Structure 1
Amino acid sequence: MTASAPWNEIYEWMVKSRKLLIKKLARNDCSWADNPNNHQYGPYIPQEIRASDFFPKLLNKNPSKPHIYQAGIETFWPATGEIKESNLRHFANKGSEMHLTGVPKGEFAGLTPASFLVGGLLRKPIGDTLHWFITIDSLSEEAALIETAFDLPADFHYGLFNPEDIFSAAHDETEQLIQEISDAVKSGTLGAFLKAASQIPPSSVLADKAQQIFLQQHNLSALNPYELPSPGDAVMEISRDIEYTLYKSAEQRHRAAEVIQIINKGGTDIVASVVRGYPELNATFLSASQVRKSRAGRSFEHHIARLLRDGQIIFQEQAITGGRRPDFVLPNVKTLKAKVRTYDEALILSLKTTLRERWKQVPMEKFNCALFLATVDDRVSADAIDDMRSLGVHLLVPESLKKSKETCYSNKSNVITFRDFFDEEILTKRPGFRANNA
């Protein structure tokens, strides 16, 4: 994994800029850096960015080649301290994208799929340099901070932002919370606020609320995978966008209440309260990170279970099969463990919102049936996918991720979409999994 600049340094460069570019890197934007035989050298820039005022205007400098437009820019790369004479080239006969060349190869080497290119147009030039760029590996903490700071949706690909947009999505809600707590202090009702915010709603409650919001937005009555054009994309939107927004709001209230309670123990001396309460404060913030991770996994289970129920598919959840407890067994454990049955009469469906090496935790008992691992993770490497195939694991991903240029899924035979799963694996191969063959 390419070493990224620390968040505080990235933040400093962002606030120095009058405009920011964030692009999720496609595989051909960075795979060239790991392949000595690849002739490409640098990432592509989408037409919408090329047509904006982020980069200088491209000009045709060679009348004999009227299809080539270009411009030279000096770029600074804070992570390595390099200044590069970069070039912008647009071949009008090859498509709408622009190619940014003359970039540090090391910045693009070893990046995990769906990593970021972040750049800025400086308010004041440093020498002759107006543009800076940093690559951020998608497995890094900085990538998570970028997604949070700019409230990037699950289907994000690229965009231009103003520096004022940093954390702006949460600004109004934060100010409202501050005012609510201040009013509670003044009115003597702080105790009531703390009691009300003492618990984050259970994942089942947040999941149900997120599902209802999705259904209302799309004028649907159920999460029936046979009525949704892209059931995987629907789950990804519900879990990574809608429910996460609900959770962040609830979490902020809860953690604010916890911190206030800790500080209040020290009376009116704020400095003494913070210093003496540091161990509790530190534990609170560590707990916040751990709860987020466990909540995301449980949330995913709620949404997949809803798809199965609304699709009238027979399943058993969290059933003990031996040494492991898979998320779902279809149709049930009794059938799975039957001494006499065919290969297609049962299957195991496990879930992992994020994989990394955690996919190796899925059940590996040999049950003479297909093993599917569902995820909304766009950062899985080609080597990991091949390792799964060698162990008989089929990866189940949202429809948009399967065809995305930013993932390694498109040409992998053991990667299928949720649409394929419900149509081919259930409806065609295992119609008996549906209640009364609905």
Structure 2
Amino acid sequence: MDEYGGPEFVWFLKRLSGNDTLENKAHQAGPYIPREVMFGFFPSLNRPVEKNPDLWFDLYVDSDPDHQRVRAVWYNNKLHGTKDGRNETRFTNFGGQASALLDPESTGALTIFAFRKVDPPGLPDCHVWVCRHGTEEDLVEDHVGPIEPGKGQLWPPQQGNLRSIKNAIQWVAAGCRISEAEIPDAWRIKFPTGAEIIQTAVKMRPDLGLNPDKRLMRRRDCEFQIFRSVEQWVEMPHIQAGFPTVDDFVARAQTILQRRKARSGRSLELHTRQIFLEERLVEGTHFTHQPVSEDGKRPDFLFPSVSAYRDPLFPKDRLRMLAVKTTCRDRWRQILNEAERVPAKHLLTLQEGVSEAQFGEMTRAGVQLVVPAGIMKNFPTTVQPHLQTLESFIGDVRLLPLG
């Protein structure tokens, strides 16, 4: 971060998915990079009349360390009439899972790609850091803000010819951006809570005809865009006005980053609660949100209720616990001591895959992964049959006897 965080570098950050690594044995062997990002760093790769254009450049994985001459390729078969062809850009030719970028155990890892700025037609070299544990990920996110599965980010966000790509790599939910005129006056005085933004997303994306899995994913994308829109309109006047001291600037930046982290940490949990209510689960009867199970322990959800959990006569096999974590690569162990009366722990995550070895470790520890149906394809084929969708989990807890 010190060596490659200067003004001569631009970072692209993402969490490695099962399609990036060799974890799900897909044909793609290398990290997916959005086209807008790839063409920004390698404009000479943007040759649509040529089938699958490519180029080679130096990539250094400093976290391991490793140096490779790797390939940037635009798989554009779809533009050339190939049925079911691809239209995506990737880095390939890493030499197999000996590379940290292809190691199945790197699935879910927060990764920095630091590109050195060069003038065309020069090719930038790239220095990579694959975070090895949660402490490293926290250090990175303290610097740039939260990086969620499936959403890449540039840092700094605005970079010359890369200025226009930020929206493209954050999967914009069309129609969820809020204009300056649409912001409630109260939100200008006090930044809205996560619950307030989520309720706005629910109004913009009611989606009651969709199953819970699709509803969850669409609303989270919508809520993210609402949050960033409000942040833009609320914070830009302060930024444009300038700061009397460096300390004032740093304090404002820290406020923004901490707000982003707080939003990321609670968003999935609050969306899940909203969907439980829409699916006619009654809070206090069918589930309890954020109860105290034991002293100092507060699971996200208990089923059917905290009173049933605390009743020593209520059978353990009729109790359920659901933890909610956007990523689970290193954090799944945190739930093992929550709700001691519930031997099997359910964990809802948006992480795009885990390695077979890690899934085996979770299973042996009594953790059942709950994954929205749309991202199950990122998991190994051997793991997919053992995952549970959110819709299926809700169906199961509906059948729990209440007394």
The alignment's TM-score, normalised by the length of structure 1, stands at 0.60
Partner residue, 1:244: 224
* Aligned twin of 1:84: 69
SS of 1:319's equivalent in the other structure is: coil
Query: What's the counterpart of residue 147 of structure 2?
Result: 144
Indicate the RMSD between aligned Cα atoms, in angstroms: 5.3
CA-to-partner distance for each residue in 1:179-234, whole Å, 9 max, x for gaps? Answer: x9xxxxxxxxxxxx99962311122111100111111xxxx4x4xxxx533x2332
**Shift of the alpha carbon at 1:25?**
5.8
Q: Is the 8 A contact 1:346 1:369 kept in 2?
A: no
Cα contact 2:14–2:152 (8 A) shared by 1 = no
| Secondary structure at 1:30 match in 2 | coil
Task: Compare 367-376 and 140-149 and name the one that shifted more.
Answer: 140-149
Change over 3 Å in CA distance of 1:311–1:211 after alignment to 2: same
2:10 matched to 1:11? Answer: yes
**The structure with more helix, counted as a fraction of residues:** 1
User: Which of 83, 93, 101 matches 1:101?
Assistant: 93
Preserved CA contact (<8 Å) 1:336 1:347 = no
Higher relative contact order (CA 8 A, sep 6+): 2
**How far apart, in 2, do the equivalents of 1:255 and 1:378 lie?**
32
Residue in structure 2 matching 1:387, options 332, 341, 361:
361
Distance 2:60 2:190 in 1: 42
- Conserved in 1, the CA contact under 8 Å of 2:108 and 2:327? no
Matches for 1:224-303 after TM superposition, within 5 Å: 227-229=209-211, 231-239=212-220, 241-256=221-236, 263=243, 273-275=244-246, 278=247, 280-303=248-271
In the TM superposition, residue 79 of structure 1 has moved relative to its aligned partner by 6.2
Task: Identify which of 392, 395, 398 aligns with 2:372.
Answer: 398
Distance 1:393 1:168 in 2: 35
Q: Which residue of 2 aligns with 1:159?
A: none
Q: What pairs with 1:169-184 in structure 2 (closer than 5 Å)?
A: none
TM-score computed with the length of structure 2 as normaliser: 0.64
Identity across aligned pairs (percent)?
18
Pairwise CA distance, 1:322: 1.2
Unaligned segments of structure 1, at least 5 residues = 15-21, 33-37, 60-68, 151-161, 181-192, 264-272
Distance 1:101 1:4, change over 3 A: farther
- Assess, with a 3 A threshold, how the Cα gap between structure 1 residues 417 and 432 changes in structure 2: closer, same or farther: same
SS in structure 1 of the partner of residue 107 of structure 2: coil
- Structure number with greater Rg is 1
197, 200, 213: which one pairs with 1:206? 197
1:316 aligned onto 2:282: no
| CA gap 1:214/1:132 in 2 versus in 1, 3 angstroms | farther
1:396 maps to a residue whose letter is V
Letter of the structure 1 residue corresponding to residue 152 of structure 2: E
Residue 329 of structure 1 aligns to a residue whose secondary structure is strand
Which residue does 1:346 correspond to in 2?
319
Residues 27 and 331 (structure 1 numbering): CA distance in 2 closer, same or farther, change over 3 Å?
closer
In the alignment, is the contact (CA less than 8 A) between 2:291 and 2:300 conserved in 1? yes
d(CA) in 2 for partners of 1:258 and 1:72? 44
Corresponding position of 1:62? none
Matched position secondary structure for 1:366:
coil
Q: 1:426 aligned to 393, 397, 400, which one?
A: 397
Distance 1:274 1:85 in 2: 44
CA contact (8 A) 1:371 1:393 kept: yes
Alpha-carbon offset, residue 302 of structure 1? 2.3
In 1, Cα distance between equivalents of 2:215 and 2:192: 22
The AA in structure 1 aligned to 2:69 is K
Q: For 1:251 and 1:333, how far apart are their aligned partners in 2? A: 37
SS at match of 2:10: helix
Number of residue pairs the alignment of both structures matches: 348
CA-CA distance at 1:73 after TM superposition? 4.3
For structure 2, the 5+ residue unaligned runs are 37-43, 132-136, 156-160, 171-176
